[in-house]
Amino acid sequence: MPTKRQILQGSVVVGALSLVGSVTGILVETAIAAELGMSARSDVFYVAYTLPYVITSLLAATGQFSLVPFFASIEASGKQEDLARGFSYAVNVGALGLTALSALGAATAPWLMRGIAPGLTPVQLGMATELARWLFFVIVPAGVAEVLRSFLLSRRSFALPSAAGFFRNMGVIVGVVLGFHRFGYYSLVLGYFAGHLLQFAVLAAKIAVSFPVRYSPVVRGGGEPFRNLRGAGAAQLGVAVGWQGMVVVERIIASFLPAGALTALNWGLKIMSTMAELVAGSIGTSALPGLSRAAARKEEAEQRRIFHGILELALVLVAPLVVFCLELPRPIIRLIFQRGSFTPEATSQMASVFFFYSLSLLLYAALRVLAFQLFARQEGTNYLRISILQYALTVGFDLLYVGVLRWGPKGIPLAMVTSLALTVTWAYRKNLCDLRSMVDRGLRVFFAKNLLAAGLAAASVAGLEFFFPRPATGLGNFSYLVATCGFGSVVFFAALFALKAISLSQFWAVGGDSNQA
């Protein structure tokens, strides 16, 4: 079973390579922003891509929750033929189901676009419909690639699955940069198809070389692992429907806000969730195979030990990110977006939205970590309950903050932080995954020390901002961010060392030997 050191080492591998994918993901948005700006034109594309993006994001974010435990439980039986059959079953059922879903989405695109963004003009809705009909089929290679990625993760092969996003994003970037002036909007469609197909090909090649399994055209399976997979899949389908419902409501609300607000909200949520995934998702991904095996063998003490370690690692890594995002939203947005058609005024609007989304970062990461534990324990029903609760609360507060209180674009991210706070509180009170025993006195003291260290880091960043004004040039802005975030990180970790929250032995453990390829 993995130790905290091994989880940390795996997290670094996953995190470092996921960072490469995340950076190229941001470059995708930068390339699109340079061509479309933050305007009615960009709103058209993001309305068209709303549902395909939601589905592909859910596949990438939650596919491993059901598939890694599925493959791990089959592997525990020790029969290679069962593993090959389970792999083929997951690939075939995923491909068939997603093809049917894509066809349904393409057929109903006109009604879906009108439902998502009734505030757009007929011409804009027509363009969004045409784009959506093609973009829906992106989910087929995306879904099959997630099956391949989860299989590799279950074999504790972290490197290539974590870097898969890089190949996908590079395909999109090449499509936009080389094709936009000739194909316009359709260069984005071509780019997304090229990126997802490239990702699929790379993962398939890795399995063929390192973990060859005999593929067969099976679509039926029996036994406890298959029953658990179907149960987890049903829970994830329910979560997907709930998430899409929430996104549709928020798109409807945003379509009546000033031009560019819908795009700003889309990018703000994407950046915040990417950072949470980069940290909490990397740690959870590294620990999930061990958690799943411990759950399959009914080793409760081992599950608690691993999950406790995940919580501590996630807190240490997320806390400084929260500080930097709340104190430096404008320099961050300026670095990422301000070029081409993206004006300084758009930067100000985007920075405001990003600040309010950053309030959710710690809670979003906490819920993400909890999801790994729920699926490792085969508690898909509880994941469905907690997700639907959060989505329902989010929609309710969206309507309250934007529709009743008239808070404008900031009301939507504020609705998210409110719903997340209430959902995490509910999960604790219901003692999901034995949370009450996990959040013991030791973890509460650890949290307090991290809070104090984060406060000192925030004060140090504020001091630098007071004595050193923000530069006017792009290169100066980059150097300013590196200096302030670097100094704040040094203060944060120095405080943790001084408070004995972490030790030098833990810090250097990441440098030990590990086989994560």
Determine the 3-state secondary structure of 201 from DSSP: helix
Q: How far apart are CA 353 and CA 42, in angstroms?
A: 17
How many separate domains does the chain show? 2
Please indicate, yes or no, whether residues 453 and 310 belong to a single structural domain of this protein: no
* Domain annotation covers residue 358: yes
State residue 515's pLDDT score: 45
- 408, 439, 470 - which closes a domain: 439
Q: How far apart are CA 182 and CA 37, in angstroms?
A: 18
* Domain annotation covers residue 517: no
Determine the 3-state secondary structure of 53 from DSSP: helix
State residue 510's pLDDT score: 42
Please indicate, yes or no, whether residues 429 and 449 belong to a single structural domain of this protein: no
Query: For 212, left (φ over 0), alpha (ψ -120 to 50), or beta?
Result: beta
Long-range contacts of 176-183 (CB under 8 A, 24+ apart): 176/28, 176/31, 176/32, 176/35, 177/31, 180/35
316 neighbors 450 (Cβ within 8 angstroms):
yes
State residue 513's pLDDT score: 41
Please indicate, yes or no, whether residues 284 and 422 belong to a single structural domain of this protein: yes
State residue 504's pLDDT score: 60
Please indicate, yes or no, whether residues 273 and 353 belong to a single structural domain of this protein: yes
Please indicate, yes or no, whether residues 488 and 383 belong to a single structural domain of this protein: no
Please indicate, yes or no, whether residues 108 and 247 belong to a single structural domain of this protein: yes
Kind plus residue range of the DSSP H or E element containing 339: none
* Domain annotation covers residue 515: no
- 439, 467, 490 - which closes a domain: 439
Please indicate, yes or no, whether residues 328 and 447 belong to a single structural domain of this protein: no
Q: How far apart are CA 90 and CA 51, in angstroms?
A: 23
Please indicate, yes or no, whether residues 352 and 452 belong to a single structural domain of this protein: no
State residue 455's pLDDT score: 96
Please indicate, yes or no, whether residues 256 and 378 belong to a single structural domain of this protein: yes
- 439, 469, 493 - which closes a domain: 439
* Domain annotation covers residue 516: no
State residue 505's pLDDT score: 60
Please indicate, yes or no, whether residues 415 and 282 belong to a single structural domain of this protein: yes
Give per-10-residue mean pLDDT for the chain (517 aa).
59 70 78 74 83 82 75 71 83 92 94 85 88 93 92 82 86 85 83 91 89 78 72 73 81 83 85 86 80 77 83 91 95 82 82 95 93 82 90 95 92 96 94 84 92 96 85 80 94 93 60 44
Residue 295 in tokens: 């759950």
Please indicate, yes or no, whether residues 432 and 489 belong to a single structural domain of this protein: no
Q: In terms of residue numbers, what domain contains 498?
A: 440-509
Please indicate, yes or no, whether residues 340 and 401 belong to a single structural domain of this protein: yes
Contacts (Cβ under 8 Å, ≥6 apart) of 57? none
State residue 514's pLDDT score: 42
* Domain annotation covers residue 25: yes
* Domain annotation covers residue 331: yes
Q: How far apart are CA 488 and CA 174, in angstroms?
A: 36
Contacts (Cβ under 8 Å, ≥6 apart) of 111? none
